[in-house]
Every structure is written in structure tokens, then in C-alpha cells.
Amino acid sequence: MKTKLQYSSLTLMPAQCVRASAVVLRVCTLILCSVLLVSCSDSVQNTLDTPTDVRLAVPSNFPPIRYNLAANQISTDGFILGRTLFYDGTLSRDGTVSCGSCHQQSSAFTHHGHDLSHGIDDKLGNRNSPPVMNLAWQPHFFWDGGVHDLDLFSIAPIENPVEMDEKLDNVLAKLRSSPKYRSLFAKAFGSEDISTSRFLKALSQFMLMCVSSQSRYDSFVRHEGAVLSERERLGRTLFSQKCGACHSTDLFTDFSFRNNGLEQRTPFDSGRARITLQHEDIGKFKVPSVRNIALTAPYMHDGRIRTLEGVLNHYRFGMKVTPNIDSFFIRQGKNPGIDMTDNEAQLIIEFLHTLTDTDFTTRRILSEQ
């Protein structure tokens, strides 16, 4: 008589039992491996998404920062709160538009492909979205320099009727009604109090950490191992000669306001004069950084130029004689512009591509979680 073994609710013969045991062993092994993989994945994800030591480091090839860190010390919890707010549509009237809607990381925190920013109800703004990048070094913000303090910066898009179209008081009320945000504010600031100051400082803490300084160019000038080709080095020299008066230092901007001979369009944008009310500032806009410029098309304050070739062609032969045009562009006996051959323009473009910072555009802690 054959011996039978009881295995759960199944009645098995010895040979069958051996095979069943092997199956069970394999299943258990698979389950254990899955648990280990999930655990490992979670561990890596936590490392990437939840930083343990957030600090604003000044790259060695950058000038000193301008932002007053003593008045808003960056902490890990403050950064996480700011990041959560940055990507939350709660800041807009109907919950559909976040800061990250118009400042997308993959495009160096710009609204790639849009000549003008798109806001609530798909309304069009009147200017191209500037990058959220290296803001700790900036003395003023927006194309017209209308805000001089990063901690006040976020109020403008929140209350702009074609951007987020919300009132700051309403935003704070929504946050105060959220258990999640009460907890996040308590971690960041020591209590659940959600005030205007704390709200704005948290957003600043995230934006301050949006630092782009890891391009191939940066590695080259810091002697960290990157190499520029001969053409790229020639392009760098040409860029310094022909563009460096405005796009200076390794921030690649002097933060000045200049009229660069753009043809006036309707509706007319007076630029810096909108803030200063000075006639001599009509048509002047802030000089943007050219870091990550290969990723941030279209170009100019109104996104009128689609390509880098188009930008250089504007300065070569497309500039108009406009009131207040910058003296740098005046040429004796010629229309305003910059002398540049086709080959020189191509070399400059090749150099500009070395300023692309893929670490910045993929850095996980800056991404929506």
C-alpha cells in the first residue's frame, strides 16, 4: 500500500510531494526576491526623493550669491515643503495651474515651445516664461525687473489674472485647511502656523536650490575632466568677444536692462519703463542667461524667435533702429548689429550647446514627486 502525505488540502503521493515542495520553494524564493527588490527600490527612491542634507553650495566658477540666506536658512524640510507647493495646482484659482506648469524641469524650468506663457483657462500671458534657475544670484526678477526680492516673487504669478488668477489669502486658507500642509509647515518651521512669510520663504527655498552649474562647460573651466573641442573653444572665444559685454561671468548675464533692436509689436510692451516710468527705459528688457539655451526655445521676451540661428541672425542683420537702442550695437555707416560671419555664428552655437546641464534637467530632488 502506497503511503500518502497530507499537504494542505491536497492529497499527494511522495513523488508528487517532492515536486510540490520544489514549486513552493521557488515561489517563496520569488516572493523573497520581490520583497528585496521593492525594499531596495524604495531605499534608492527615498535617497533620491527625500534629501537628507540640503545646502546651497556656491560653484567655484560663480560669483558670490546675492540672496540673504541669513533671513531664510534653507532646510531639508523647508525645501520639501517648497517643492510640494511649487508643483501644486492649489496655488491657482481652480487647481489646474501650478508653478511647474510654466516652469518645466526638462526644459530648464521654462515653458518650452510656447512663445508666451499659458495660464489658467488657457489664457495667454504677454511674455515668455523665464527659467527658474540660479535665482540666488539675481538682483531682480521678471523681464522688466519688477520684483527685487525672491521672497516676493511668487505673489505676481499667483495673483496675475492670466496666470494663476488666485488671491494670496485664498491660497493660505486652502493650505490651512489641509492636514498635509499643516504637517509640512510644522516640520519646516516648528509649528502649524501657515503665514504669508512662511509660504513665500518655503517657495524660495525650493527655487534657490534650482542651481544649474554642471554643464560640460562648467566641468571644463573647473578642470573636472570635461574637454571642449577645438571648434567649441573657438566658439567660446568668439562668444566672449561678440556677446560677452552683456552675457558676462559664468552666470552668462550681467542682469542689466537693454534695448536690443527688436521691432515693436502690437500690443506694445514698454519693458523696463513699465516699472520705472522713465522714457529712456522703453523697450529695455533684462539680459537673460544663456545657460541651457539650447533647451529653452523660443527666445526673446515675447518668444518671437524660434531657433538659435534666428537669434544670431537677428543680431547680425535683423536689428531695427528703435528708440533707446543700446549703444553697444551702433555701427558706423551700418544698421545696428554685431559683425559676424556664417562660420562664426555656427561656432558660437556649438559653444552654446556646451552650456546644457542635463544634471539640472533630470535631478530627481527637483522633480515633482
At 169-203, the pLDDT tens digits run 999 999 999 999 999 999 999 999 999 999 999 99
Ranges of the chain with pLDDT below 50: 1-25, 27-48
Rounded Cα–Cα distance for residues 101 and 347 (Å): 34
Tell me how many degrees the CA angle 290-291-295 measures, rounded to the nearest 5.
95
| pLDDT for the residue 3 | 37
Q: Any idea which fold 69-212 has?
A: Cytochrome Bc1 Complex; Chain D, domain 2 (1.10.760)
All three cell numbers of 344, joined, read 562664426
pLDDT in tens, 200-233: 999 999 999 999 999 999 999 999 999 999 999 9
| pLDDT for the residue 50 | 64
Q: Do you know the residue count of the chain?
A: 369
Amino acid at 68: N
CA separation (Å) from 339 to 42, 115, 237, 321, 335?
Answer: 56, 27, 15, 16, 11
Which CATH number applies to 216-359: 3.40.50.150, 3.30.70.270, 3.40.50.2020, 1.10.760.10?
1.10.760.10
pTM: predicted TM-score of the whole model, two decimal places? 0.85
Rounded Cα–Cα distance for residues 103 and 133 (Å): 10
pLDDT in tens, 134-161: 999 999 999 999 999 999 999 999 999 9
